[in-house]
Amino acid sequence: MYVDDTHLTFASNDVGHLDKNMNDDLTKTTEWLTANKLTLNKSKTEFMLIGSRQRLNTFNRLPSFTVNSNSIKQVEFTKSLGVYVDENLTWNVHIEHISQKIASCIGILKRSRSFVPFETLLCIYNALVQPHFNYYCSIICGNCNKSLFIKLQKLQNHAARILTSSSYDADADDLFVRLG
């Protein structure tokens, strides 16, 4: 049995502190897992330093974390419970990922619109597209930069135009009112 989505955190500006405290916590965690007949998947174990670019550049060296003498790889982003978090908390990776999913679902809408009635098309939208905006964007949109927000808004506008069979230059605000 494996343990999924376990996170250890420690905050410090000192690499030596990070090394000592995280390695101690990793040792204790590994011991606890072993005592409870659980396994840490070393190939999926990773670490990420989180901070501004300026703050991260002040480190004179990278920390070195190990589990049973195996080095843990550093990543620039990770997925946690469906949300991609990057080392600078910019949301670029997350928005890019969900934008691709949304665009794919919008493609399904576009290919389906000539075969199904509007009500069915709206059901498809509510099942495939809208959840990405509601569950994986709502909190993040308030904290992302303007260009990322605009990217998401363009996808929402495109979906509204497809649902209403409107032209590419139709005013999206009017379409949103029409769609409720």
- Indicate if the pLDDT at residue 3 is higher than 70: no
Q: What does the angle CA 51 – CA 52 – CA 53 come to, to the nearest 5 degrees? A: 115
What's the rounded mean pLDDT across residues 56-70? 88
The rounded percent of the chain whose pLDDT value lies above 70 is 94
Average pLDDT on 97-122 reads 92
Confidence grade of residue 89 (pLDDT, cut at 50, 70, 90): confident
- What pTM did the predictor assign? 0.78
Of residues 43 and 20, more confidence is placed in 20
Kindly list the domain boundaries of the chain, sorted by start residue.
15-75, 92-179
- Measured from the Cβ of residue 37, the count of other Cβ atoms closer than 10 Å reads 7
**The pair of three-digit structure tokens given for residue 161, joined into one six-digit string:** 């135009």
pLDDT at residue number 24: 95
pLDDT of res. 39: 84
pLDDT beyond 70 at 87: yes
Residues with Cβ within 8 Å of residue 100, at least 6 apart in sequence: none
SS3 of residue 24 by DSSP: helix
For 89-105, b/e burial (b = at least 16 CB within 10 A) is ebbbbbbebbbeebeeb
Q: How confident is the model at residue 140 (pLDDT cuts 50, 70, 90)?
A: low
Q: Which residue has the tokens 């195996």?
A: 70
User: In residues, how long is the chain?
Assistant: 180
pLDDT on residue 111: 93
CA–CA separation, 30 vs 70, rounded Å? 12
Residue 141: the pLDDT is 61
Token look-up 């665009």 returns 103
Distance CA 10, CA 17 (A): 9
- Percentage, residues of the chain above pLDDT 90: 45
Q: Is the per-residue pLDDT at 5 higher than 70?
A: yes
Q: What is the mean pLDDT of the chain?
A: 88
Q: Report whether pLDDT(2) > 70.
A: no
Are the C-beta atoms of residues 94 and 50 closer than 8 Å to each other?
Answer: no
Quick one: pLDDT at residue 138? 61
